């Protein structure tokens, strides 16, 4: 089978259709899970207040599949039955509606010109019609007319991308700042305290815990929870017959037991946690959230098995009473109070440091560590967006300083995951300006593309909100 991943001679903005809609990492669940429930429906949901037909949704799914085949080739073909593309299909639908709203057009000549430049359809350095026809028919399983219409839509989304990002231009100053921030390095000397070590000193009483509960009631709200009953079957024809029979009887449990099936039950779970006994997927979440108690869905394929699922129980969102949450509240209260105590200690240290500064006295972190029972140490050089042993994520330690110059002490307490820090800049290694001159052109090009992609993703998030998608699966 021909390799399909080459993108030479294809404009980068076309491939944003794939990189934005098909995010890295596949979601393991077959799109047929969704399709199986569409046969008896005319519409799958709504976007922008209008119904979305089954045909429109299926066309979007198919177009996404074809893009992935062109991008990933054999890698995708081996996995496509286990991949749920429904979220990307909804994105494609709303992006196309936005493109049409903006009256974005793609001519037949543009479609033809683009297809003829796809390396997969070329032989001896020129477009080969027979090769094109055979690949479309045998590999994609469609016809040329439909593929060309999909290509037209892809180019419409690509033009929409260009329209949204056309004003993204970086100045020389912005590019240098970005390069400098990516490449400059610092090492720091630090004083640290771990709030967990202070937890035993926190005084806890019933009244304080109850007041904390009252002040933070909404944070303890439990999401909706679902309890599913399900059976599994390896024979697709048998599971279809069982499903059709169940639709005509109200005795779900009795009928299945009579036919020799063991009924499994998940127990109550929320969509924020794994489904007990069943692999999670976006598709299944859509299905469960829209079920009514007693409703049966299926057959649903998971790897090599088929499931029939019935919603046995649904518990609506609620706030538990204080007694049920008491242990959790105690734990949270202690964590918060111990962190406050740690901050108070470091604030006293900062006050002493400021006094020493005013009197032009030497600031010795080792002495301060002994006096206040703190830990101290010095790091090796590190960059932004990295992990530093004993500190954690590095970015906060850059932003702690007004200026990156040796002996500068951080203007604020740095809160990391396990500890709180006061930091002093030990060493500063600036970005190499000579190296930047050599790399500038490529760096600006790549950075501009990153900014454009981020701008388009922001636009897509806003468009999803505006579309108000409702799914009726």
Rounded Cα distance, 359 and 139, in Å: 78
Instruction: Retrieve residue 210's tokens.
Output: 């109850």
- Burial of 410 by CB count in 10 Å (0-12 exposed, 13-18 middle, 19+ buried)? buried
Give the pLDDT of residue 283.
60
Contacts of 459 (CB under 8 A, 6+ apart): 164
Mean pLDDT of 408-436: 94
CATH of 222-315, one of 3.40.50.720, 3.30.70.260, 3.30.70.890, 3.10.50.40: 3.10.50.40
When pLDDT is averaged across residues 170-188 and rounded to a whole number, the result is 94
189: its two tokens: 């000397």
Task: Give the separation between CA 150 and CA 136, rounded to whole angstroms.
Answer: 12
Supply 168's token pair: 């993204």
pLDDT over threshold 90, residue 149:
yes
Instruction: Please determine, for residue 19, whether its predicted confidence score (pLDDT) is greater than 60.
Output: no
Read off φ and ψ for residue 139, nearest 5 degrees: -90, -50
User: Which residues are paired to 378 by β-bridges?
Assistant: 189
Say whether pLDDT at 91 is over 80: yes
**In CATH, what number does 12-167+454-471 get?**
1.10.4030
Position 301 confidence tier, pLDDT thresholds 50, 70, 90: confident
User: Nearest CA to 308 among 239, 211, 358?
Assistant: 239
Query: For residue 61, which of 22, 25, 104 has the smallest C-alpha distance?
Result: 22
Ramachandran class of 9: left when φ > 0, alpha when ψ lies in -120 to 50, beta otherwise? left
**d(Cα 342, Cα 345) in Å, to the nearest integer?**
5
**Sign of the dihedral defined by the CA atoms of residues 170, 173, 174, 180, in that order:** positive
- Which helix (H) or strand (E) element contains residue 155? helix 144-165
Question: pLDDT at position 382, please?
Answer: 97
**Can you tell me whether residue 300 is helix, strand or coil?**
strand
Looking at residue 339, its pLDDT comes to 97
* Residues 28-34, mean pLDDT to the nearest whole number: 42
Report domain extents, the chain.
12-167+454-471, 185-217+322-429, 222-315
User: What HEC string does 86-104 produce?
Assistant: HHHHHHHHHHHHHHHHCCC
Residue 35 in 3-state DSSP?
Answer: helix
Three-class secondary structure of residue 152 per DSSP:
helix
Listing DSSP states for 274-333 in one string gives PBTTB---HHHHHHHHTPPTT-EEEEEEETTEEEEEEEEEEE--B---HHHHHHHHHHHH
Contact (CB, 8 A) for 262 and 231: yes
Report how far Cα 188 is from the mean position of its chain's Cα atoms.
33
Model pLDDT for residues 186-211, shown as the tens digit of each residue: 999 999 999 999 999 999 999 999 99
Q: Which residues of 13-31 are buried (b: 16+ CB within 10 A; e: fewer)?
A: bbbbbbebbbeeebbebbb
**278 C-beta neighbours (distance < 10 Å), count:** 19
pLDDT score of 44: 85
Could you tell me if 43 and 54 are in contact, meaning their C-beta atoms sit under 8 angstroms apart? Answer: yes
What pTM, to 2 d.p., does this model score?
A: 0.69
Please give the pLDDT value at position 297. Answer: 82
Instruction: Extract the tokens encoding 335.
Output: 């964590």
pLDDT mean over 156-174: 94
Secondary structure (3-state) at 39: coil
Give the pLDDT of residue 281: 60
Half-sphere CA count of 2, side-chain side, radius 13 A: 19
Residues 6+ apart with CB under 8 A from 61: 31, 34, 35, 85, 86, 89
- pLDDT tens track for 332-374: 999 999 999 999 999 999 999 999 999 999 999 999 999 999 9
CA separation for the pair 467, 198 (Å, rounded): 49
Q: How confident is the model at residue 466 (pLDDT cuts 50, 70, 90)?
A: very high
């Amino acid at each position: 089978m021909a390799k399909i991943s080459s993108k030479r001679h294809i404009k980068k903005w076309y491939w944003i259709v794939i990189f934005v809609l098909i995010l890295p990492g596949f979601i393991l669940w077959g799109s047929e899970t969704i399709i199986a429930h569409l046969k008896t429906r005319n519409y799958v949901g709504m976007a922008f207040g209008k119904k979305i037909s089954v045909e429109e949704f299926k066309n979007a799914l198919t177009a996404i599949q074809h893009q992935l085949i062109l991008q990933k080739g054999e890698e995708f073909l081996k996995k496509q039955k286990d991949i749920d593309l429904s979220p990307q299909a909804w994105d494609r639908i709303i992006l196309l509606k936005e493109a049409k709203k903006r009256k974005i057009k793609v001519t037949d000549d543009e479609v033809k010109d683009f297809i003829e430049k796809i390396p997969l359809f070329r032989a001896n350095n020129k477009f080969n019609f027979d090769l094109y026809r055979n690949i479309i028919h045998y590999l994609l399983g469609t016809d040329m007319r439909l593929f060309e219409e999909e290509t037209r839509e892809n180019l419409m989304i690509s033009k929409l991308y260009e329209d949204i990002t056309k004003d993204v231009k970086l100045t020389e100053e912005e590019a240098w700042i970005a390069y400098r921030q990516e490449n400059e390095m610092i090492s720091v000397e630090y004083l640290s305290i771990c709030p967990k070590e202070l937890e035993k000193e926190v005084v806890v009483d019933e009244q304080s815990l109850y007041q904390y509960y009252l002040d933070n009631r909404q944070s303890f709200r439990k999401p909706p929870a679902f309890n599913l009953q399900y059976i599994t079957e390896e024979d697709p024809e048998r599971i279809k017959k069982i499903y059709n029979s169940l639709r005509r009887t109200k005795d779900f449990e009795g009928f299945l037991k009579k036919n020799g099936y063991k009924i499994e039950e998940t127990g109550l779970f929320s969509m924020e946690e794994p489904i007990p006994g069943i692999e999670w997927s976006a598709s299944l979440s859509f299905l469960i959230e829209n079920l009514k108690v007693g409703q049966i869905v299926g057959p649903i394929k998971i790897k090599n098995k088929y499931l029939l699922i019935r919603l046995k129980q649904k518990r609506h969102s609620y706030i538990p009473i204080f007694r049920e949450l008491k242990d959790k509240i105690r734990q949270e209260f202690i964590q918060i109070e111990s962190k406050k105590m740690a901050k108070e200690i470091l604030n006293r240290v900062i006050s002493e440091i400021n006094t020493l500064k005013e009197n032009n006295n030497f600031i010795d972190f080792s002495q301060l560590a002994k006096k206040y029972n703190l830990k101290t140490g010095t790091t090796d050089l590190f960059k932004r967006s990295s992990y530093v042993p004993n500190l954690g994520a590095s970015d906060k330690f850059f932003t702690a300083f007004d200026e990156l110059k040796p002996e500068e002490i951080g203007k604020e307490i740095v809160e990391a995951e396990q500890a709180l820090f006061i930091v002093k800049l030990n060493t500063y290694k600036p970005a190499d300006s000579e190296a930047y001159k050599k790399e500038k052109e490529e760096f600006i090009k790549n950075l501009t593309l990153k900014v454009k992609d981020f701008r388009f993703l922001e636009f897509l998030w806003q468009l999803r909100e505006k579309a108000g998608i409702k799914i009726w699966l």
